[in-house]
Protein backbone atom coordinates (compact mmCIF):
# COMPACT_ATOMS: atom_id res chain seq x y z
CA UNK A 1 0.00 0.00 0.00
CA UNK A 2 1.02 3.56 -0.63
CA UNK A 3 1.95 5.46 2.49
CA UNK A 4 0.48 8.95 2.77
CA UNK A 5 2.95 11.65 3.52
CA UNK A 6 1.45 13.31 6.65
CA UNK A 7 3.01 16.63 5.76
CA UNK A 8 1.52 16.52 2.29
CA UNK A 9 -1.88 15.64 3.76
CA UNK A 10 -1.74 18.55 6.20
CA UNK A 11 -0.65 20.84 3.39
CA UNK A 12 -3.66 19.75 1.38
CA UNK A 13 -6.06 20.33 4.25
CA UNK A 14 -4.69 23.81 4.81
CA UNK A 15 -5.04 24.57 1.13
CA UNK A 16 -8.68 23.46 1.09
CA UNK A 17 -9.40 25.44 4.26
CA UNK A 18 -7.82 28.63 2.92
CA UNK A 19 -9.68 28.30 -0.38
CA UNK A 20 -12.96 27.91 1.52
CA UNK A 21 -12.26 30.96 3.67
CA UNK A 22 -11.33 32.94 0.57
CA UNK A 23 -14.67 32.07 -0.99
CA UNK A 24 -16.47 33.21 2.15
CA UNK A 25 -14.59 36.49 2.15
CA UNK A 26 -15.41 37.03 -1.53
CA UNK A 27 -19.09 36.38 -0.83
CA UNK A 28 -19.09 38.82 2.10
CA UNK A 29 -17.38 41.46 -0.04
CA UNK A 30 -19.94 40.92 -2.78
CA UNK A 31 -22.80 41.31 -0.31
CA UNK A 32 -21.23 44.37 1.23
CA UNK A 33 -20.85 46.00 -2.17
CA UNK A 34 -24.41 45.08 -3.07
CA UNK A 35 -25.65 46.60 0.20
CA UNK A 36 -23.64 49.78 -0.37
CA UNK A 37 -24.92 50.20 -3.92
CA UNK A 38 -28.47 49.42 -2.85
CA UNK A 39 -28.26 52.08 -0.13
CA UNK A 40 -26.86 54.65 -2.55
CA UNK A 41 -29.64 53.86 -5.06
CA UNK A 42 -32.30 54.09 -2.37
CA UNK A 43 -31.05 57.44 -1.05
CA UNK A 44 -31.07 58.82 -4.55
CA UNK A 45 -34.55 57.50 -5.32
CA UNK A 46 -35.97 58.75 -2.01
CA UNK A 47 -34.54 62.22 -2.48
CA UNK A 48 -36.34 62.83 -5.76
CA UNK A 49 -39.95 62.78 -4.49
CA UNK A 50 -38.97 64.42 -1.19
CA UNK A 51 -37.25 67.34 -2.96
CA UNK A 52 -40.18 67.71 -5.32
CA UNK A 53 -42.81 67.81 -2.54
CA UNK A 54 -40.58 70.14 -0.51
CA UNK A 55 -40.24 72.48 -3.47
CA UNK A 56 -43.99 72.72 -4.07
CA UNK A 57 -44.79 73.23 -0.40
CA UNK A 58 -42.14 75.93 0.10
CA UNK A 59 -43.30 77.74 -3.02
CA UNK A 60 -46.85 77.66 -1.63
CA UNK A 61 -45.69 79.06 1.69
CA UNK A 62 -43.69 81.76 -0.07
CA UNK A 63 -46.85 83.13 -1.66
CA UNK A 64 -48.11 80.76 -4.33
CA UNK A 65 -50.93 79.84 -1.93
CA UNK A 66 -52.60 83.21 -2.56
CA UNK A 67 -53.46 82.30 -6.15
CA UNK A 68 -56.23 79.73 -6.03
CA UNK A 69 -55.36 78.05 -9.32
CA UNK A 70 -51.65 77.82 -8.61
CA UNK A 71 -52.42 76.58 -5.10
CA UNK A 72 -54.56 73.68 -6.35
CA UNK A 73 -52.02 72.73 -8.98
CA UNK A 74 -49.10 72.76 -6.54
CA UNK A 75 -51.00 70.88 -3.85
CA UNK A 76 -51.85 68.21 -6.38
CA UNK A 77 -48.23 67.97 -7.50
CA UNK A 78 -47.01 67.72 -3.91
CA UNK A 79 -49.60 65.00 -3.22
CA UNK A 80 -48.48 63.10 -6.33
CA UNK A 81 -44.86 63.19 -5.19
CA UNK A 82 -45.82 61.90 -1.77
CA UNK A 83 -47.93 59.12 -3.32
CA UNK A 84 -44.84 58.16 -5.30
CA UNK A 85 -42.78 58.16 -2.14
CA UNK A 86 -45.36 55.94 -0.45
CA UNK A 87 -45.28 53.44 -3.33
CA UNK A 88 -41.48 53.48 -3.34
CA UNK A 89 -41.21 52.76 0.38
CA UNK A 90 -43.74 49.91 0.08
CA UNK A 91 -41.83 48.36 -2.85
CA UNK A 92 -38.49 48.82 -1.09
CA UNK A 93 -39.78 47.03 1.96
CA UNK A 94 -41.08 44.12 -0.10
CA UNK A 95 -37.88 43.87 -2.12
CA UNK A 96 -35.54 44.02 0.86
CA UNK A 97 -37.60 41.45 2.77
CA UNK A 98 -37.66 39.08 -0.18
CA UNK A 99 -33.94 39.54 -0.84
CA UNK A 100 -33.08 38.98 2.81
CA UNK A 101 -35.09 35.77 2.67
CA UNK A 102 -37.39 37.07 5.40
CA UNK A 103 -40.44 36.40 3.33
CA UNK A 104 -41.26 32.75 3.06
CA UNK A 105 -43.49 31.70 0.25
CA UNK A 106 -46.52 29.81 1.49
CA UNK A 107 -47.24 27.63 -1.47
CA UNK A 108 -50.70 26.18 -1.27
CA UNK A 109 -53.63 25.30 -3.51
CA UNK A 110 -54.64 28.50 -5.22
CA UNK A 111 -57.33 29.21 -7.80
CA UNK A 112 -55.41 31.17 -10.41
CA UNK A 113 -58.60 32.31 -12.19
CA UNK A 114 -60.05 33.80 -9.01
CA UNK A 115 -56.80 35.56 -8.05
CA UNK A 116 -56.39 37.01 -11.55
CA UNK A 117 -60.00 38.24 -11.70
CA UNK A 118 -59.45 40.07 -8.43
CA UNK A 119 -56.24 41.69 -9.71
CA UNK A 120 -57.90 42.81 -12.96
CA UNK A 121 -60.89 44.20 -11.05
CA UNK A 122 -58.57 46.27 -8.86
CA UNK A 123 -56.74 47.68 -11.86
CA UNK A 124 -59.87 48.34 -13.90
CA UNK A 125 -60.18 52.03 -12.94
CA UNK A 126 -56.62 52.67 -14.15
CA UNK A 127 -57.27 50.78 -17.38
CA UNK A 128 -60.52 52.70 -17.93
CA UNK A 129 -58.71 56.01 -17.59
CA UNK A 130 -56.78 55.14 -20.72
CA UNK A 131 -59.57 53.17 -22.37
CA UNK A 132 -57.52 50.00 -22.22
CA UNK A 133 -59.36 46.67 -22.22
CA UNK A 134 -57.93 43.99 -19.95
CA UNK A 135 -59.15 40.50 -20.83
CA UNK A 136 -58.61 37.11 -19.24
CA UNK A 137 -58.47 34.06 -21.51
CA UNK A 138 -58.79 30.84 -19.60
CA UNK A 139 -59.88 27.39 -20.80
CA UNK A 140 -61.39 26.61 -17.39
CA UNK A 141 -63.40 28.47 -14.76
CA UNK A 142 -61.08 27.21 -12.07
CA UNK A 143 -57.37 26.47 -12.32
CA UNK A 144 -55.52 25.14 -9.33
CA UNK A 145 -51.82 25.79 -8.96
CA UNK A 146 -49.33 25.45 -6.14
CA UNK A 147 -48.49 29.02 -5.25
CA UNK A 148 -48.39 31.74 -2.63
CA UNK A 149 -51.69 33.48 -3.39
CA UNK A 150 -50.67 36.87 -2.02
CA UNK A 151 -47.28 36.93 -3.77
CA UNK A 152 -48.67 35.72 -7.09
CA UNK A 153 -51.35 38.37 -6.94
CA UNK A 154 -48.59 40.92 -6.27
CA UNK A 155 -46.59 39.70 -9.30
CA UNK A 156 -49.67 39.75 -11.54
CA UNK A 157 -50.56 43.21 -10.29
CA UNK A 158 -47.10 44.53 -11.22
CA UNK A 159 -47.18 42.93 -14.68
CA UNK A 160 -50.73 43.99 -15.57
CA UNK A 161 -50.18 47.43 -14.07
CA UNK A 162 -47.08 47.85 -16.27
CA UNK A 163 -49.03 46.68 -19.32
CA UNK A 164 -51.61 49.39 -18.59
CA UNK A 165 -49.04 52.05 -17.64
CA UNK A 166 -46.85 51.57 -20.68
CA UNK A 167 -49.55 50.41 -23.06
CA UNK A 168 -51.15 52.68 -25.63
CA UNK A 169 -54.39 54.57 -25.10
CA UNK A 170 -57.31 52.44 -26.26
CA UNK A 171 -55.05 49.38 -26.37
CA UNK A 172 -55.51 45.78 -25.24
CA UNK A 173 -54.02 43.78 -22.43
CA UNK A 174 -54.51 40.03 -22.69
CA UNK A 175 -53.88 37.64 -19.83
CA UNK A 176 -53.79 34.05 -21.05
CA UNK A 177 -53.50 30.72 -19.23
CA UNK A 178 -52.18 27.74 -21.18
CA UNK A 179 -52.04 24.22 -19.84
CA UNK A 180 -48.86 22.22 -20.01
CA UNK A 181 -48.07 18.74 -18.78
CA UNK A 182 -47.02 19.73 -15.30
CA UNK A 183 -47.78 23.41 -15.12
CA UNK A 184 -49.84 26.35 -16.25
CA UNK A 185 -48.28 29.11 -18.25
CA UNK A 186 -49.39 32.65 -17.46
CA UNK A 187 -48.93 35.27 -20.12
CA UNK A 188 -49.47 39.03 -19.82
CA UNK A 189 -49.43 40.67 -23.23
CA UNK A 190 -49.87 44.28 -24.28
CA UNK A 191 -49.89 46.06 -27.62
CA UNK A 192 -47.89 49.05 -26.41
CA UNK A 193 -44.66 50.60 -27.67
CA UNK A 194 -42.52 47.61 -26.67
CA UNK A 195 -39.02 47.59 -25.18
CA UNK A 196 -35.93 48.05 -27.38
CA UNK A 197 -33.83 44.84 -27.41
CA UNK A 198 -30.78 46.48 -25.82
CA UNK A 199 -32.79 47.10 -22.64
CA UNK A 200 -34.49 43.72 -22.42
CA UNK A 201 -32.01 41.91 -20.21
CA UNK A 202 -31.76 44.81 -17.77
CA UNK A 203 -35.39 45.63 -17.02
CA UNK A 204 -35.48 43.18 -14.09
CA UNK A 205 -32.72 45.07 -12.27
CA UNK A 206 -33.85 47.28 -9.45
CA UNK A 207 -34.33 50.92 -10.46
CA UNK A 208 -33.65 50.15 -14.10
CA UNK A 209 -35.98 52.09 -16.37
CA UNK A 210 -36.04 52.32 -20.12
CA UNK A 211 -37.20 55.90 -20.04
CA UNK A 212 -36.61 57.37 -16.65
CA UNK A 213 -38.85 60.40 -17.02
CA UNK A 214 -41.72 58.38 -18.52
CA UNK A 215 -41.62 55.86 -15.69
CA UNK A 216 -41.56 58.56 -13.01
CA UNK A 217 -44.37 60.50 -14.64
CA UNK A 218 -46.42 57.30 -14.61
CA UNK A 219 -45.78 56.72 -10.93
CA UNK A 220 -43.24 53.94 -11.44
CA UNK A 221 -40.76 53.01 -8.73
CA UNK A 222 -38.39 51.02 -10.93
CA UNK A 223 -38.78 48.07 -8.55
CA UNK A 224 -41.87 46.35 -9.96
CA UNK A 225 -40.11 43.86 -12.22
CA UNK A 226 -37.33 43.16 -9.70
CA UNK A 227 -40.08 42.11 -7.27
CA UNK A 228 -41.83 40.02 -9.94
CA UNK A 229 -38.59 38.22 -10.74
CA UNK A 230 -37.94 37.36 -7.09
CA UNK A 231 -41.49 36.09 -6.56
CA UNK A 232 -41.45 33.97 -9.71
CA UNK A 233 -38.01 32.54 -8.86
CA UNK A 234 -39.21 31.70 -5.35
CA UNK A 235 -41.84 29.56 -7.09
CA UNK A 236 -39.01 27.69 -8.86
CA UNK A 237 -40.01 29.29 -12.13
CA UNK A 238 -38.50 31.80 -14.51
CA UNK A 239 -39.91 35.04 -15.84
CA UNK A 240 -39.42 35.61 -19.53
CA UNK A 241 -40.05 38.63 -21.69
CA UNK A 242 -40.57 39.01 -25.39
CA UNK A 243 -40.95 42.40 -26.93
CA UNK A 244 -41.05 44.08 -30.30
CA UNK A 245 -40.82 47.81 -30.70
CA UNK A 246 -44.18 49.28 -31.75
CA UNK A 247 -45.83 45.86 -31.47
CA UNK A 248 -45.97 45.14 -27.77
CA UNK A 249 -44.55 43.19 -24.88
CA UNK A 250 -45.30 39.77 -23.43
CA UNK A 251 -44.21 38.57 -19.99
CA UNK A 252 -44.71 34.95 -19.03
CA UNK A 253 -44.01 32.44 -16.29
CA UNK A 254 -45.21 29.03 -15.17
CA UNK A 255 -46.74 27.67 -12.00
CA UNK A 256 -47.00 24.06 -10.86
CA UNK A 257 -50.29 22.47 -11.65
CA UNK A 258 -52.39 20.71 -9.04
CA UNK A 259 -54.45 17.91 -10.53
CA UNK A 260 -58.01 17.80 -9.36
CA UNK A 261 -58.69 14.27 -8.23
CA UNK A 262 -62.21 13.33 -7.33
CA UNK A 263 -61.66 11.33 -4.21
CA UNK A 264 -63.76 8.20 -3.99
CA UNK A 265 -65.03 8.26 -7.58
P1 LIG B 1 -41.41 50.97 -13.11
O2 LIG B 1 -41.81 51.20 -11.72
O3 LIG B 1 -40.54 52.05 -13.68
O4 LIG B 1 -42.56 50.60 -13.99
P5 LIG B 1 -40.55 48.20 -13.43
O6 LIG B 1 -39.48 47.46 -12.73
O7 LIG B 1 -41.95 47.72 -13.25
O8 LIG B 1 -40.41 49.73 -13.01
O9 LIG B 1 -40.21 48.23 -14.99
C10 LIG B 1 -38.92 48.61 -15.42
C11 LIG B 1 -38.98 49.34 -16.75
O12 LIG B 1 -39.33 48.42 -17.79
C13 LIG B 1 -40.02 50.42 -16.82
O14 LIG B 1 -39.52 51.63 -16.35
C15 LIG B 1 -40.35 50.46 -18.30
O16 LIG B 1 -39.42 51.31 -18.95
C17 LIG B 1 -40.12 49.05 -18.77
N18 LIG B 1 -41.39 48.27 -18.91
C19 LIG B 1 -41.93 47.42 -18.01
N20 LIG B 1 -43.06 46.86 -18.46
C21 LIG B 1 -43.25 47.35 -19.72
C22 LIG B 1 -44.25 47.14 -20.73
N23 LIG B 1 -45.30 46.32 -20.54
N24 LIG B 1 -44.11 47.84 -21.90
C25 LIG B 1 -43.06 48.67 -22.09
N26 LIG B 1 -42.10 48.90 -21.18
C27 LIG B 1 -42.18 48.26 -20.00
Q: How far is CA 37 from the centre of its chain?
A: 19
User: Is any atom of ligand 1 closer than 6 Å to the C-beta of 249?
Assistant: yes
Q: Which helix (H) or strand (E) holds 253?
A: strand 248-256
User: In the predicted model, what is the mean pLDDT of residues 166-192?
Assistant: 96
The residue whose CB lies within 8 Å of the most ligand 1 atoms, and thus the one to mutate among 91, 123, 220, 251, is: 220
State yes or no: ipTM above 0.90: yes
Among 34-48, 96-110, 180-194, the range with the most confident prediction by mean pLDDT is 180-194
User: Is any atom of ligand 1 closer than 6 Å to the C-beta of 148?
Assistant: no
pLDDT at 99 over 90: no
| pLDDT at residue number 265 | 46
User: Is any atom of ligand 1 closer than 6 Å to the C-beta of 248?
Assistant: no
DSSP character at residue 74: H
Beta strands in 172-230 (DSSP E): 172-179, 183-190
User: Is any atom of ligand 1 closer than 6 Å to the C-beta of 191?
Assistant: no
Q: Give the Å distance between the CA of 102 and the centre of ligand 1.
A: 26
pLDDT at 10 over 70: yes
User: In the predicted model, what is the mean pLDDT of residues 127-153?
Assistant: 96
Amino acid sequence: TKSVNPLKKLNNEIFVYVAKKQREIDELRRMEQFRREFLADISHELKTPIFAAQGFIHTLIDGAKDDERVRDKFLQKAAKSLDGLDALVADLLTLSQIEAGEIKMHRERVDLVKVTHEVIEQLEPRANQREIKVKLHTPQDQIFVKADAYRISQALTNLIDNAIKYGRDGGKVNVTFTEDKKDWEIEVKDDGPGIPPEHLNRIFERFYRVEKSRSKEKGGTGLGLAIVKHIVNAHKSKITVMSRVDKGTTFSFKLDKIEEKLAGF
